[in-house]
Amino acid sequence: MEKRFFRFNDGALRTEHRGAPFTVDGVHFMNAGDRAERAVKLALGYDASKDANTAFDIDSDIPELCASVKSSKSTLTSARIGDSFEAILRVYFARTASKLWIWAVQDEDALTIYVMDRHEFEAFTRAFASVQCGVIRYKYTSSKMIQWLDERATGR
């Protein structure tokens, strides 16, 4: 697992804006996951204009890296693909287009990302997600989660 840290211009990752709760570099988002995806793409130098709603088995959030971007309280998939945690994971990993997963942790002017391979991401999912309403949902980013990630990360 690799850990990388990025600092943005003052206020580039604002969380308040009239009509839209999240702003990244002047673009407004209603969804924290869309904001995280755009922030990661900008930080890594990839096109951030692509629609953030990519089907997991069609393409990846960052196609150039075959990478999926996840963040606090996100879902593994928006679609129901199984009836238990194990069944969902099995179907997901059999069908996913991604080969890397990026967990994004944001604050007002900084972004920390953790880049994981399949085995690391599966262990992370088992540790910090559960089935809710038929989909796997990740927990809120906590100090325990950050500690778990940091213990496994190498990075800059």
Picking from 123, 29, 132, the residue whose alpha carbon sits closest to that of residue 75 is: 132
Judged by average pLDDT, the poorest of 4-13, 25-34, 99-108, 132-141 is 25-34
User: pLDDT tens-digit profile of 100-152?
Assistant: 999 999 877 789 999 999 999 999 999 999 999 999 999 999 999 999 999 99
Q: Which residue has the higher pLDDT, 129 or 21?
A: 129
At 17, the pLDDT band (50, 70, 90 cuts) reads very low
> Is the pLDDT confidence value at 156 over 70?
no
User: pLDDT tens-digit profile of 41-98?
Assistant: 989 999 877 566 778 999 999 999 999 999 999 999 988 999 999 999 999 999 999 9
Residue with tokens 């593994």: 76
Residue-level pLDDT at 33:
78
H-helix segments, 55-132: 85-95, 118-128
Strand order in the sheet with 100-106: 67-71, 100-106, 110-116, 2-7, 154-155
Q: How far, in Å, CA of 45 to CA of 40, rounded?
A: 8
Q: How far, in Å, CA of 41 to CA of 119, rounded?
A: 23
Q: For 8-14, what is the mean pLDDT?
A: 60
Residue-level pLDDT at 19:
43
